[in-house]
């Protein structure tokens, strides 16, 4: 059965946001399991807390900026339930981006309940 009401779509988007608390990037593509997160760097790479927008038409977004270590190539993003460890909840492949000298990468995470 298709979800027809904005109220239910927004409720499901809100539930996603309540679980997907931390964002990350990966050096290997995620799928049914998480990709490999970068390590090292200065400042050191770390997952970022996500502050999701209010749902609208079943969609929510959150933006985070990651410190990417020198020599890293980012190929995916994902969301987890905790800053370290926790549960891998969702992931996505992205266009590969190389960081030969390190830097930062801003990622906008989007969930849309259709």
> What pLDDT is recorded for position 45?
97
- The model's pLDDT over 26-62, given as tens digits with 9 standing for 90+, comes to 999 999 999 999 999 999 999 999 999 999 999 999 9
Q: Which helix (H) or strand (E) holds 10?
A: helix 6-19
* Host domain of residue 33: 6-112
The rounded Cα 48 to chain-centroid distance in angstroms is 9
Q: Examine residue 53 and state whether it is found in any structural domain, yes or no.
A: yes
pTM of the model: 0.94
Q: What value does the mean pLDDT take over residues 6-28? A: 98
Query: Could you tell me the sign of the dihedral formed by the alpha carbons of 98, 95, 107, 90, in that order?
Result: negative
Instruction: Report yes or no on 1 lying in a domain.
Output: no
Residue 1 scores a pLDDT above 90: no
What's the structural domain count of the chain?
Answer: 1
pLDDT number for residue 2: 86
Residue 89 placed within a domain: yes
Q: In this predicted model, what pLDDT tens digit does every residue of 67-95 receive, in sequence order?
A: 999 999 999 999 999 999 999 999 999 99
| Residue 85 in domain | yes
Sequence-ordered list of residues with C-beta below 8 angstroms from that of 111, at least 6 positions apart, any chain = 13, 16, 17, 20, 59, 60, 61, 90
């Amino acid at each position: 059965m298709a979800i027809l009401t904005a109220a239910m779509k927004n409720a499901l988007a809100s539930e996603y946001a309540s679980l997907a608390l931390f964002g990350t990037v990966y050096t290997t593509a995620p799928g049914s399991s998480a990709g490999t997160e970068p390590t090292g760097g200065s400042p050191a790479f770390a997952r970022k807390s996500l502050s999701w927008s209010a749902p609208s038409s079943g969609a929510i977004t959150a933006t985070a900026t990651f410190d990417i270590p020198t020599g890293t190539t980012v190929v995916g993003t994902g969301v987890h339930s905790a800053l370290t460890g926790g549960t891998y909840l969702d992931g996505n492949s992205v266009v590969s981006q190389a960081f030969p000298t390190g830097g930062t990468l801003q990622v906008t995470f989007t969930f849309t309940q259709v």
